[in-house]
C-alpha cells in the first residue's frame, strides 16, 4: 500500500546511515591501494583481507581460534557475573559490608587486568586458568561497581512509600530495589563483557598457543599483516555482536523504561 | 459527637527546625491541632510554611521534632498502617502494573484475599479496567487515582493528602476533588489535606486551617459549615474565600495600594 512506502524508505535510509561510514572507509582504503599509495606489506587492502579471511575460514583455523577465545571469555565472565552480582547486591544493601569491602574494591579497581598477567602466569602457569583469571578480573569490577551504584540509586520517594505502607524489607528489595537497579546492572554486564573480551585478547597476545590473540601474535612474527587485520576485525565484530545480544536482553527485561534515545 | 471525646488526631505544641548552613531555620512553631474522627480538614498556606512538614511528621516520616502527635490517644513512633498518605507525585513504581502497585502495601494475605482487596479498591477509584496497565500508560489523573487506591488498601483511620492534585490540570483536579469526597463518604476515613489552592481547601474541608510562614504557625482555623456538594460560586462559598484571602494578602497587598 502507498502509505507503507514512506516508512520503508525511512528504514532503508536509516540502514544506509548505519553502514555508510564503514562502507566509505573500506572504499577509500581500497581506492588508496589502487592508486598506489599503500604498501600492501604494511597495510594490505580490504580485498586481500577478505581473501585471507576466506582462507582462514575454510581451513577452520579462524573458527577454532574464535571458539577458544569465546569459551575463555564465557568462563571468566560467568564467574565475574555471579560473584560481581552477588557481592554487589550484598554491598549495595548493607552499609556494614560496604565499609568492610570498599577500600579493597577501590584500590583493586584501577589496577589494569594486564598488570596481573605476570602473577597470573606464576600462579596458574600459561594454561587456561591464568587467562580465565585475567578475564574474571577485567569483568568483575565494572559489574560489581555498577550493581552497587544501581542499588544505591533507589529512589528515596519509593523508600518513603514503602515505609508508609510497612512493606517488608525482602519484598521491597525484590519489587523495588532490584528492578530499579536493573538498568545499571545491565550496563555493568555490558561493560564487563566488553572488558572481558579485550582482556582475552591481551592475555593471549602474551602467553598462549591458541585463541584470536595468539592468531594475531603469531601472524606478527611472520609479518602477515593481512592475518593480523583479519584477527583485529574479527575481535571488533564479535564484540559488537556480544554487545547487541546483551542490549536485546536488556530491552526485553526493561520494557517499562521510556528512555531518551536521541533525536 | 463531642469534639474532644472522639478526637482522633491531636497535635500539641509541635516544633520543628532544620539546620541549614550551620544556622537554624524554624519550620514549625507551637502547632496545636485537634482533628475529630471522620473529619475532613484542609490545611492551606503559602509554599514554605511547613504544611508539608507537618503532614510528614503526622505520617511518621520526619524525626527530630518536639511536642506531641497522638492518634487515638497513642503517641506516634514512625509510620504505621493506621495512616495512609498520598503525595503530590503519584509515586507509583514504574515497573509494576497498576494492580501490583495497589497490592504493594498488602502484606501477609493469601493471594485470593489480596486480589479481592485490590479489585475492590480499583473499582472504588474507577479504574477496574486498568489492572494490567503500567504507570507510564496512565494519565496524571489516573495515576493519582491508583495512588489513592494504594493508600487505602490497609483501611487507614487517617489519610494524609500532600497536595495530591497540585500537579493536575484544572478539569482533572475538579474531578478528583469530587472523587475524594465520594471516597471519604464511603470509607469515612479521617482526611487531612495540605494544599495551596484555597478553593480546593473550602470545597473539601469541614474546617480550613490557615498557616503562616517562617516560622510555620497555625494562624486561624475557619469552619466551613456548607452542605455538600458545595457550589464554588455560591454566596457563602465566596464569603469564606474572601475571609481566607484576607488572611493571606492583608499584608502583601498593602504596598500595591500605595504604589498605585
Query: What does the domain layout of chain B look like in residue ranges?
Result: 1-77+200-260
Write out chain B residues lying below 8 Å of A165, CB-based.
81, 104-105, 150, 154
Average of pLDDT values for B8-29? 87
Task: Give counts: helices (H), strands (E), chain B.
Answer: 8, 10
Q: B89-99, pLDDT tens digit by residue? A: 999 999 999 99
**What is the Cα–Cα distance from B115 to B100, expressed in whole angstroms?**
10
What residues contact residue A178 under an 8 Å CB cut-off, 6+ apart? A89, A151
Average of pLDDT values for B235-242? 90
For the cut 80, the answer to whether the pLDDT of residue B251 exceeds it is no
**What is the Cα–Cα distance from A67 to A65, expressed in whole angstroms?**
5
**Distance, CA of B49 to chain centre:** 15
Q: B223-236, pLDDT tens digit by residue? A: 998 888 898 889 99
User: How high is the mean pLDDT of chain B?
Assistant: 87
Residue A7 pLDDT: 83
Q: B111-162, pLDDT tens digit by residue? A: 888 889 999 899 888 888 898 889 998 888 899 999 999 999 998 999 999 9
CATH architecture of B1-77+200-260: 3-Layer(aba) Sandwich (3.40)
Q: Can you give the pLDDT of all 263 residues of chain A as single tens digits?
A: 556 778 888 889 999 999 999 999 999 999 999 998 888 888 999 999 999 999 999 999 999 999 999 999 999 999 999 999 999 999 999 999 999 999 999 999 999 998 998 899 899 888 889 999 999 999 999 999 999 999 999 999 999 999 999 999 999 999 999 999 999 999 999 999 999 999 988 888 877 889 999 999 999 888 899 999 999 999 999 999 999 999 898 888 887 665 555 55
B253: confidence class by pLDDT, cuts 50, 70, 90: low
Between positions 120 and 159 of B, the ones with CB within 8 A of A are 134-136, 150-151, 154
Residue A257 pLDDT: 67
Residue in chain A nearest B97 by alpha carbon: A256
Write out chain B residues lying below 8 Å of A179, CB-based.
93, 95
Residue B191 pLDDT: 94
**What is the Cα–Cα distance from B222 to B9, expressed in whole angstroms?**
18
**Bridge partners for B36 per DSSP:** B7
CATH architecture of A52-253: Orthogonal Bundle (1.10)
The Cα of B139 is separated from the nearest Cα of chain A by a number of Å equal to: 15
Burial of B233 (0-12, 13-18, 19+ CB in 10 A): exposed
Q: Which three cell numbers stand for residue B51?
A: 504544611
Q: Residue B125 in 3-state DSSP?
A: coil
For residues B149 and B97, is the Cβ–Cβ distance under 8 A? no
Residue A2 pLDDT: 57
What residues contact residue A132 under an 8 Å CB cut-off, 6+ apart? A72, A75, A76, A79
Residue B1 pLDDT: 41
This prediction's pTM: 0.82
Residue in chain B nearest A162 by alpha carbon: B105
B39: confidence class by pLDDT, cuts 50, 70, 90: very high
Residue A259 pLDDT: 53
Test B79 with A257 for CB contact under 8 angstroms.
no
Q: Residue B65 in 3-state DSSP?
A: strand
Phi/psi-derived region of residue A116, left when phi > 0, alpha when psi is between -120 and 50, beta in every other case:
alpha
Q: What is the DSSP code string of A30-58?
A: HHHHHTT---TTTS--HHHHHHHHHHHHH
CA angle B71, B77, B80 (to 5 degrees): 70
Q: Which three cell numbers stand for residue B183?
A: 471516597
Write out chain A residues lying below 8 Å of B79, CB-based.
163-164, 166
Average of pLDDT values for B183-189? 89
Whether A167 and chain B come into contact, CB under 8 Å, resolves to yes
**What is the Cα–Cα distance from B48 to A205, expressed in whole angstroms?**
64
Test B104 with A165 for CB contact under 8 angstroms.
yes
**Optimal mutation site among A164, A258, A260, interface B, most CBs of chain B within 10 A:** A164
Residue B64 pLDDT: 87
Average of pLDDT values for B180-209? 92
Residue B20 pLDDT: 83
**B160: nearest Cα among B151, B169, B168, B171:** B151
Task: State the CB neighbour count (10 A cutoff) for residue B215.
Answer: 18
Residue A152 pLDDT: 95
Strands of B40-44's sheet, edge to edge?
Answer: B83-86, B158-162, B190-195, B40-44, B207-212, B217-223
**What is the Cα–Cα distance from A203 to A121, expressed in whole angstroms?**
10
**What is the Cα–Cα distance from A205 to A218, expressed in whole angstroms?**
9
The Cα of A84 is separated from the nearest Cα of chain B by a number of Å equal to: 24
Residue B3 pLDDT: 44
The interface predicted TM-score of the complex, written ipTM, equals: 0.87
Write out chain A residues lying below 8 Å of B77, CB-based.
none
Q: What is the DSSP code string of chain A?
A: -HHHHHHHHHHHHHHHHHHHHHHHHHHHHHHHHHTT---TTTS--HHHHHHHHHHHHHHTHHHHHHHHHHHHHHHHHHHHHHHHHHHHHHHHH-HHHHHHHHHHHHHHTTS-GGGGHHHHHHHHTTSHHHHHHHHHHHHHHHHHHHHHHHHHT--HHHHHHHHHTT--HHHHIIIIIHHHHHHHHHHHHHHHHHHHHHHHHHHHHHS-SSSHHHHHHHHHHTT-HHHHHHHHHHHHHHHHHHHHHHHHHHHHH-TT-------
Residue B257 pLDDT: 46
Amino acid at each position: 500500500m502507498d502509505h507503507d512506502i514512506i516508512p520503508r524508505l525511512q528504514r532503508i535510509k536509516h540502514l544506509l546511515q548505519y553502514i555508510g561510514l564503514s562502507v566509505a572507509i573500506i572504499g577509500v582504503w581500497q581506492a588508496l591501494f589502487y592508486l598506489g599509495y599503500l604498501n600492501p606489506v604494511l597495510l594490505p587492502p580490504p580485498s586481500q583481507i577478505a581473501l585471507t579471511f576466506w582462507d582462514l575460514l575454510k581451513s577452520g583455523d579462524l573458527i577454532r581460534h574464535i571458539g577458544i577465545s569465546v569459551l575463555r571469555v564465557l568462563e571468566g565472565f560467568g564467574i565475574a557475573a555471579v560473584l560481581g552480582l552477588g557481592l554487589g547486591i550484598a554491598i549495595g544493601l548493607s552499609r556494614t559490608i560496604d565499609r568492610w569491602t570498599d577500600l579493597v574494591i577501590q584500590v583493586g579497581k584501577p589496577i589494569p587486568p594486564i598488570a596481573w598477567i605476570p602473577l597470573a602466569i606464576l600462579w596458574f602457569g600459561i594454561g587456561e586458568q591464568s587467562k580465565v583469571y585475567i578475564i574474571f578480573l577485567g569483568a568483575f569490577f565494572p559489574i560489581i561497581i555498577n550493581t552497587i551504584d544501581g542499588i544505591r540509586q533507589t529512589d528515596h520517594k519509593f523508600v518513603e512509600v514503602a515505609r508508609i505502607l510497612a512493606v517488608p524489607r525482602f519484598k521491597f528489595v525484590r519489587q523495588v530495589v532490584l528492578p530499579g537497579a536493573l538498568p545499571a546492572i545491565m550496563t555493568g554486564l555490558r561493560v564487563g563483557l566488553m572488558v572481558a573480551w579485550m582482556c582475552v585478547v591481551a592475555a593471549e597476545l602474551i602467553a598462549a598457543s591458541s585463541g584470536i590473540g595468539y592468531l594475531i601474535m603469531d601472524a606478527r612474527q611472520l609479518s602477515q599483516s593481512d592475518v593480523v587485520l583479519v584477527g583485529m576485525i574479527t575481535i571488533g565484530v564479535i564484540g559488537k555482536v556480544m554487545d547487541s545480544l546483551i542490549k536485546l536482553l536488556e530491552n526485553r527485561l526493561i520494557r517499562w523504561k521510556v528512555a531518551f534515545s536521541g533525536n | 459527637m463531642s469534639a474532644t471525646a472522639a478526637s482522633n488526631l491531636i497535635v500539641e505544641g509541635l516544633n520543628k527546625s532544620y539546620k541549614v548552613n550551620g544556622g537554624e531555620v524554624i519550620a514549625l512553631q507551637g502547632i496545636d491541632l485537634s482533628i475529630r474522627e471522620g473529619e475532613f480538614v484542609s490545611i492551606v498556606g503559602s509554599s514554605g510554611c511547613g504544611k508539608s512538614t507537618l503532614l510528614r511528621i503526622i505520617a511518621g516520616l520526619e524525626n527530630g521534632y518536639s511536642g506531641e502527635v497522638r492518634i487515638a490517644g497513642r503517641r506516634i513512633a514512625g509510620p504505621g498502617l493506621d495512616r495512609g498518605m498520598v503525595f503530590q507525585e503519584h509515586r507509583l513504581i514504574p515497573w509494576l502494573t497498576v494492580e501490583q502497585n495497589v497490592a504493594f502495601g498488602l502484606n501477609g494475605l493469601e493471594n485470593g484475599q489480596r486480589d479481592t482487596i485490590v479489585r475492590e479498591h480499583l473499582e472504588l477509584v474507577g479504574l477496574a479496567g486498568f489492572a494490567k496497565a503500567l504507570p507510564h500508560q496512565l494519565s496524571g489523573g489516573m495515576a493519582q487515582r491508583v495512588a489513592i487506591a494504594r493508600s487505602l488498601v490497609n483501611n487507614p483511620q487517617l489519610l494524609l493528602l500532600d497536595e495530591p492534585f497540585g500537579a493536575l490540570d484544572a478539569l482533572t483536579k475538579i474531578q478528583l476533588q469530587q472523587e475524594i469526597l465520594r471516597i471519604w463518604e464511603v470509607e469515612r476515613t479521617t482526611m487531612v489535606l495540605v494544599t495551596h489552592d484555597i478553593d480546593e481547601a473550602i470545597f473539601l474541608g469541614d474546617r480550613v486551617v490557615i498557616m503562616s510562614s517562617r516560622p510555620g504557625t497555625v494562624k486561624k482555623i475557619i469552619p466551613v459549615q456548607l452542605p455538600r456538594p458545595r457550589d464554588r460560586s455560591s454566596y457563602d462559598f465566596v464569603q469564606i474565600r474572601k475571609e481566607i484571602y484576607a488572611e493571606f494578602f492583608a499584608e502583601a497587598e498593602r504596598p500595591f495600594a500605595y504604589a498605585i
